[in-house]
């Protein structure tokens, strides 16, 4: 009797690259996303669905803007700020853009320090990210108040096509809600980091899942997505 | 997370999670600032016509690509995840096309309706 070929369980089987890798990953019995923690994969799938929601808003905005026979209000003038007696176009929106991009930068660094188990830096960077996000929401509230005072309503405005107001409040309102939820979760994750929940794998109060530093990356994915959506809103709604 | 232990260190060359030098984040951050400033300049200097649309779209796509690739670590993920997330978004092109067709048709019928109204008067 010939001895069976010895098998080892010490090393995982190598993962194929390229197209072969895709086929192998997707056709395997267990999980398709091999080296990705489930929380991260689920966050990506949620973000994909959110992409479709925001795209539906932006594409319907395109449709109403293309089909209206009234002139569309010029965003460059509507969102202008008067500074030292001079009209500066889109100034507030530009500042908001830079603030959100900066918050994305600090978030990316927080993820990196998180994986290095640097509690202090991760906490500080997460708090800076949350503060920048809160500043963004505050400026958006200011922008809404200014526009409402100018007579912009979801059903009409003095500058032109009535669809301008409905598209503006719908798109920026939905995005602002995302930022607000993100700020709340950033603070929750920051507290978890500071308390050492992620080091000690302490179960969360809501889901009971063990804490780990992959949570910071998953949080980061959501936050970067909020920034990503703003890139599209900035280009398509404010600059177009 | 017993499944996650099965990851292979050779791929992406990172042992635990996504650890990349801090420099790359700072560089991308700077690049995003430059691109944002450039797209703001498009409005500030009042470029109009096709040049404006072209510049806005290019800067938008560059910024989106940088955020997804580096900040969201997509360039270091396996192709199976990359394709699962990025390919479905191409479907949106169909929705975009339908929206444009519909808008053109609505605009056309509105035109016909208003012109008729003027003729009746």
Whether B42 and B21 share a structural domain: yes
Q: With a cut of 80, say whether residue A213 has pLDDT above it.
A: yes
Alpha carbons B104 and A67: distance in angstroms, whole number: 6
ipTM higher than the 0.90 cut: no
Residue extents of the structural domains in chain A: 31-239
For residue B26, being part of any structural domain is answered with yes
Out of B10, B71, B96, closest to residue A108 by CB: B71
pLDDT confidence of A30, banded at 50, 70, 90?
confident
For the segment A42-53, the average pLDDT, to the nearest whole number, is 96
Q: Which residues of A touch B29 (CB under 8 A)?
A: 101-102, 104-105, 108
Whether B31 and B74 share a structural domain: yes
Q: Is A51 on the interface with B (CB under 8 A)?
A: yes
> What is the model's pLDDT at position B2?
43
Q: Which of A34, A230, A236 to mutate to test the interface with B (most CBs of B within 10 A)?
A: A34
Chain A residue whose CA is closest to B17: A115
Between 1.20.120.80, 2.60.40.10, 3.40.50.720, 3.20.20.120, what CATH number should domain A31-239 receive?
A: 1.20.120.80
* Mean of per-residue pLDDT scores for chain A: 90
Whether B73 and B15 share a structural domain: yes
Task: State the distance between the two ends of chain B, measured CA to CA, in whole angstroms.
Answer: 75
For residue B85, being part of any structural domain is answered with no
Segment B35-58, tens digit of pLDDT: 999 999 998 888 888 999 999 999
> What is the model's pLDDT at position B18?
79
Whether B37 and B10 share a structural domain: yes
Whether B53 and B17 share a structural domain: yes
For residue B10, being part of any structural domain is answered with yes
Q: Which residues of B touch A108 (CB under 8 A)?
A: 25, 28-29, 70-71
Whether B16 and B70 share a structural domain: yes
Chain B residue whose CA is closest to A93: B40
Report field, pTM of the whole predicted structure over 0.90: no
For residue B15, being part of any structural domain is answered with yes
> What is the model's pLDDT at position B116?
77
pLDDT confidence of A7, banded at 50, 70, 90?
low
Q: With a cut of 80, say whether residue A233 has pLDDT above it.
A: yes
Whether B68 and B17 share a structural domain: yes
Enumerate residues 9 to 28 of chain B having a beta carbon within 8 A of any beta carbon in chain A.
Answer: 10-12, 16-20, 22, 25-26, 28
For residue B86, being part of any structural domain is answered with no
Whether B103 and B53 share a structural domain: no
In chain A, pLDDT over 70 holds for what percent of residues? 95
> What is the model's pLDDT at position B1?
41
> What is the model's pLDDT at position A36?
87
Domain that holds residue B99: 91-121
> What is the model's pLDDT at position B4?
46
Q: With a cut of 60, say whether residue B87 has pLDDT above it.
A: yes
pLDDT confidence of A238, banded at 50, 70, 90?
very high
Torsion of CA A30, A36, A39, A45, to 10 degrees: -80
Count of domains forming chain B:
2
Whether B108 and B53 share a structural domain: no
Pair of tokens at residue A226: 């909020």
Across A43-75, b (16+ Cβ under 10 Å) vs e yields bbeebeebbeebbebbbbbbbbbebbeeebbeb
Q: With a cut of 70, say whether residue B34 has pLDDT above it.
A: yes
């Amino acid at each position: 009797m010939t001895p069976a070929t010895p098998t080892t369980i010490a090393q995982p089987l190598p993962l194929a690259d390229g197209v072969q890798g895709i086929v192998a990953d997707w056709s395997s019995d267990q999980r398709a996303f091999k080296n990705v923690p489930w929380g991260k994969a689920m966050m990506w799938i949620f973000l994909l669905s959110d992409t479709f929601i925001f795209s539906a808003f932006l594409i319907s905005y395109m449709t109403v803007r293309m089909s209206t026979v009234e002139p569309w209000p010029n965003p460059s003038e509507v969102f202008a700020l008067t500074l030292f007696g001079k009209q500066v176009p889109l100034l507030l929106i530009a500042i908001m853009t830079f603030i959100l991009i900066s918050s994305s930068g600090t978030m990316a660094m927080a993820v990196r320090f998180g994986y290095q188990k640097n509690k202090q830096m991760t906490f500080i960077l997460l708090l800076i990210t949350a503060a920048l996000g809160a500043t963004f929401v505050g400026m958006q509230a200011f922008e809404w108040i200014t526009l409402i005072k100018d007579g912009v309503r979801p059903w009409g405005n003095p500058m032109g096509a009535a669809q301008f107001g409905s598209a503006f409040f719908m798109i920026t309102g939905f995005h602002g809600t995302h930022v607000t939820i993100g700020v709340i979760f950033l603070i929750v994750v920051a507290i978890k980091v500071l308390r050492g929940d992620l080091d000690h794998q302490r179960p969360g109060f809501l889901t009971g899942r063990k804490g780990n530093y992959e949570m910071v990356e998953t949080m980061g994915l959501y936050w970067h997505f909020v920034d990503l959506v703003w890139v599209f809103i900035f280009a398509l709604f404010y600059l177009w | 997370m017993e499944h996650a232990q099965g990851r292979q260190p050779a791929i992406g060359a990172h042992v635990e999670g996504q650890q990349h030098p801090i420099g790359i984040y700072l560089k991308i951050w700077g690049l995003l600032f430059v691109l944002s400033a450039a797209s703001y300049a498009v409005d500030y200097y009042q470029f109009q016509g096709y040049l404006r649309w072209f510049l806005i779209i290019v800067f938008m796509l560059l910024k989106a690509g940088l955020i997804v690739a580096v900040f969201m670590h997509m360039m270091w993920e396996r192709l199976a995840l990359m394709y699962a997330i990025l390919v479905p978004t191409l479907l949106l092109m169909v929705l975009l096309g339908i929206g444009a067709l519909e808008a053109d048709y609505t605009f056309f019928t509105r035109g016909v309706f208003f012109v008729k109204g003027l003729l009746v008067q």
